[in-house]
Structure 1
Amino acid sequence: MTTPTHPPEPGRIAELRARGVHGVALTWVDNAGLTRVKAVPLDRLPAAAERGVGMSPVFDIYLVDDSLTASRDTGGPDGDLRLVPDLGRLTTLAGQPGWAWAPVDRFEQDGRPYPGCQRHFARRMTARAAEHGIELRMGFETEWVVTRDGRFACSGPAYGMTRLVELSAYADDLLTAFAAQGVTVLQLHPEYAPGQFEISIAPSDPVTAADEAVLVRETIRAVSLRHGLTPAFGPVHDPDGVGNGRHLHLSLWRDGRNLCAGGTGPFGMTAAAEAFLAGILSALPELLAVGAPSPASYLRLQPSRWAGVFQCWGLENREAPLRFITGAPDDPTAANAEVKCFDPAANPYLLVGAVITAGLTGLTAQQTLPPPITGDPAPQHQPRLPTSLPESLTHFERSTQLRTAMGDMLFEAFAAVRSAEAKLFDGTSPEALAAATRERY
């Protein structure tokens, strides 16, 4: 695989110009879970697509506060990469007049894929699933809190129509922006915590799902700011309250058939779906380092808050980290699984790649699921998932499956960043930790 050399068609540039686009934001997500950007004028997009845009690899070891750490292969002022926009994802930004957006793949100067590129990792694992005859469909739910001048922007109750009425114009602009950008919204509603909302996006292939997780967050940010609102995507806004999740839904398909339905396994799963989900369930302690990767994530992961803190699964059980959903009886396409213990601090490309890795390990080993849990697992003596970032990192660093799939450079850079963030916030009070992270993502 070499650097793409196909510039956009002249008509595409003319179309963007007619829409008033003057600049294109080219984004990637670093190992701290932050979306980084380089922007080019619209007229420079053909050159960017053909030759890439230069960027230092040092951002792979930036922390959430923009301080630096180092890993064996990453760090220091040397080196340069080429950021190559994926023109298939080129989108006019409805919430940012004058701008378009495209995610990038990162390449070495000689055109080789950069081993530390998280988007390459997600694409590799999607291809590996295809080698097993598995097509994955994934979609994220994103939760956030909106404030105005430091106060919650609405006062209505959890899931209350009052809250939607209070911010009716804001919600309308969100839906309008997503429709204009070609993002299919399944649901938009007030959530449990004060000032909290959630949006669910239709499933797609894993790389597109990760791209849309980035686009969704930045669209929410843009629309919020235009309404005088501040969005907070951190794992917790109030350390004593319910936090923000970014749940991952997934289903497995083969030859147009949903493998999560129509089988002889638990609740109609096929053997392949059960084995894949069993692989995810058994790997949750190490996956937590990827999907709940901030020290603040563990303020959110508390029992009896529907965050999924015990290593178990269940049918429509919102206290289980792995929730199986059969959907309507007459709709076999609706069956899917939801992983609830992840949050918006996660890099979505790393997350989809890591989840596929775990699932394929289960598929290869023909793993089976333990009995499902009903009710609250807290009094049922289920094993607790890691309760801190250092604990989940211990599981991550022992994971041969994730090291092999990610490659040494990406694996070690990620571990270095998350270990450094654990040290950065060691001894910080819950209140200070929440304040330091709630608006960084």
Structure 2
Amino acid sequence: MTNNPSKDVLATRENIELLLQHDTKVKVAVVDTDGLLRGKVMHKNKFLQIVDDGFGFCSVVFGWDILDKLYSTKVEFGGDDCQYPDLLAKVDLTSYRRIPWENNIPFFLLYLVHPTTNQPLYCCPRTCLKQVVDDFKEIGYTALSGVEFEFFCFKETASSVVEKGHTNLLPLTVGMCGYSLLRPSQNQDFYYNAFDWLKDFNVDMESWHTETGPGVFEAAIAYTEAKEAGDRATLFKTAMKQIALKHGFMASFMAKPYESMPGCSGHMHFSLKNKDGKNAFAIWNKDDESHIPNMSITMVHFLAGVLHGLPSILAILAPTINSYKRLVENYWAPVTVSWGIENRLGAVRVIAPPTSSKNAARLEMRVGGADINPHLAMAAVLKCGYWGIKTKQELPVEAMAGSYQPQGQRLARTLQEAVVAMEAENSVARTVLGDEFVNHYTKTRQHEWNLWQNAVTDFERRRYMELV
């Protein structure tokens, strides 16, 4: 165990110098479109100088892709005619924590401000989530969320993966060993260090275990207020990669690494708390009742908004080319606009009494994979739910009964189809996320699709090289 002095400590402008009195450096980071942390280490004195007014952060982080290749689709902060002005980066003191596996260096996340409008940056993932959290507060609700990630671990490094051409990777463990108590013993230092270090990093795991598949783990990140939940989920992915490297191997959050095995999910849970501190998805009196037993009218409207919006936010829940290899029939992944009460076959699972307590009533969005940008995915779902409540949306499809599939819309089969649904003139995504965000985001995904269209794959070589 480490002794992390940031655990449960709230940083403020009044105490920040005291909190950093024994430090010489500070790490800061923004979250980019793909959910990657982009940041730097700063001298403590420089950090203290910019706490009040912020500092310049190059806008290219929203002008290039996951491999630092400039977007080919002419986004605002990329392209041949872009001068790459600085964004204004503002320190979020509430994000203060220390990194145990990096000698407890202090760490802060940033918000970004547009260089010309001086408004919160429309494509900043943390801003998108904060805005909808604030919207809920204005109508008397606190949004809560939590994420469960599945991910593969390999006995590889970044260099060895390149040397192998990203194929024939050696898994950390062998076999299909879900919920195994034997497999973690083979990597016990990693298994327990990860749990303890993440706790000290203020990214508590409620639990974690082996999942079915070679070298696969699943971690449930503690349920909390949605803005903090977004931070924790994003930090978890980078932290787990770093912790794995500390122990000599590599963690991957790719949605579908293997053709013949299930993919890796990034399931998100949501609920609302009302002004009285009660779960707004539960029924506490007659006024809460809906036409569906054990589901409050607020829960029904929230769910309806999410289901109506789902086809047009799919490009956020499934943001990569590989995402759609997971979203196929017969692999426990939802492919339609669908929902069910305690039913894991639909896009949304309703968890409500009598199988849960009232306080635990919630919705589980099961579409997203491990490759989501958690801030954007949470924001998109919450914004659809908010819209559903505000406009009193009705459910577009009835609940699934057993394995029965109502005739809900089939979700997009490719990233290109999802982009078309998102950028449609009257899409729910445009209504809830705004034109500026949708126009920017769809261009970044179109860039991904363009690269894929030009790629020549191993599948093509195996199938056509000799015989056509």
TM-score, normalised by the number of residues in structure 1: 0.89
Say if 2:289 is the partner of 1:264.
yes
State the Cα deviation string for residues 96-146 of structure 1 (Å, max 9, x = none): 225232111012458542333222221111111222222210111122111
CA distance in 2, matches of 1:128, 1:412: 22
CA distance in 1, matches of 2:457, 2:381: 29
CA distance in 2, matches of 1:160, 1:381: 38
2:266 pairs with one of 239, 242, 246: 246
CA distance in 2, matches of 1:174, 1:233: 16
Query: Secondary structure of 1:83's match?
Result: strand
User: Shift of the alpha carbon at 1:330?
Assistant: 7.0
Q: Is the 8 A contact 1:105 1:119 kept in 2?
A: yes
What corresponds to 1:93 in structure 2?
99
Which structure exhibits the higher relative contact order, with contacts defined as CA atoms closer than 8 Å and separated by 6 or more residues?
Answer: 1
Q: Is the 8 A contact 1:310 1:377 kept in 2?
A: no
Query: Secondary structure of 1:222's match?
Result: helix
1:79 pairs with one of 60, 85, 89: 85
Work out the percentage of aligned pairs sharing the same amino acid.
25
Choose 1 or 2 for highest CA Rg: 2
Q: Is the 8 A contact 1:158 1:193 kept in 2?
A: yes
Q: Is the 8 A contact 1:7 1:49 kept in 2?
A: no
What corresponds to 1:28 in structure 2?
30
User: Shift of the alpha carbon at 1:52?
Assistant: 2.1
Query: Secondary structure of 2:256's match?
Result: coil
Amino acid at match of 2:332: W
User: Shift of the alpha carbon at 1:401?
Assistant: 4.1
CA distance in 2, matches of 1:421, 1:261: 41
Q: Is the 8 A contact 1:261 1:268 kept in 2?
A: yes
Distance 1:107 1:374, change over 3 A: same
What corresponds to 1:437 in structure 2?
none
User: Shift of the alpha carbon at 1:195?
Assistant: 0.9
Distance 1:415 1:276, change over 3 A: same
What corresponds to 1:151 in structure 2?
170
Q: Is the 8 A contact 2:33 2:123 kept in 1?
A: no
CA distance in 2, matches of 1:105, 1:299: 33
CA distance in 2, matches of 1:97, 1:377: 53
What corresponds to 1:414 in structure 2?
441
Distance 1:155 1:72, change over 3 A: closer
Query: Secondary structure of 1:346's match?
Result: coil
Query: Secondary structure of 1:268's match?
Result: coil
Q: Is the 8 A contact 1:187 1:199 kept in 2?
A: yes
Moved over 6 A (4+): 429-433
User: Shift of the alpha carbon at 1:417?
Assistant: 0.6
Q: Is the 8 A contact 1:267 1:326 kept in 2?
A: no
Distance 1:224 1:267, change over 3 A: farther
* Structure 2 unaligned blocks of 5 or more: 1-11, 157-168, 461-468
User: Shift of the alpha carbon at 1:11?
Assistant: 1.0
User: Shift of the alpha carbon at 1:315?
Assistant: 1.5
CA distance in 2, matches of 1:86, 1:331: 35
Distance 1:188 1:204, change over 3 A: same
Distance 1:431 1:160, change over 3 A: farther
Q: Is the 8 A contact 1:312 1:373 kept in 2?
A: yes
Alignment coverage as a number of residue pairs: 423
> CA RMSD for the aligned pairs?
2.4
Of 258-267 and 219-228, deviating more is 258-267
What corresponds to 1:438 in structure 2?
none
What corresponds to 2:141 in structure 1?
134
State the Cα deviation string for residues 37-82 of structure 1 (Å, max 9, x = none): 2321333221232232322222213122321124453322331112
TM-score, normalised by the number of residues in structure 2: 0.84
CA distance in 2, matches of 1:107, 1:306: 40
Distance 1:124 1:382, change over 3 A: closer
Which residues of 2 match residues 38-437 of structure 1 at below 5 A?
Answer: 38-69=40-71, 70-71=73-74, 73-75=76-78, 76-109=82-115, 112-149=119-156, 150-156=169-175, 157-255=177-275, 256-262=277-283, 263-265=288-290, 266-326=292-352, 331-369=357-395, 370-376=397-403, 382-398=408-424, 399-426=426-453, 428=455
Amino acid at match of 1:298: Y
CA distance in 2, matches of 1:381, 1:401: 20
Distance 1:215 1:160, change over 3 A: same
* Structure 1 unaligned blocks of 5 or more: 434-441
Query: Secondary structure of 2:224's match?
Result: coil
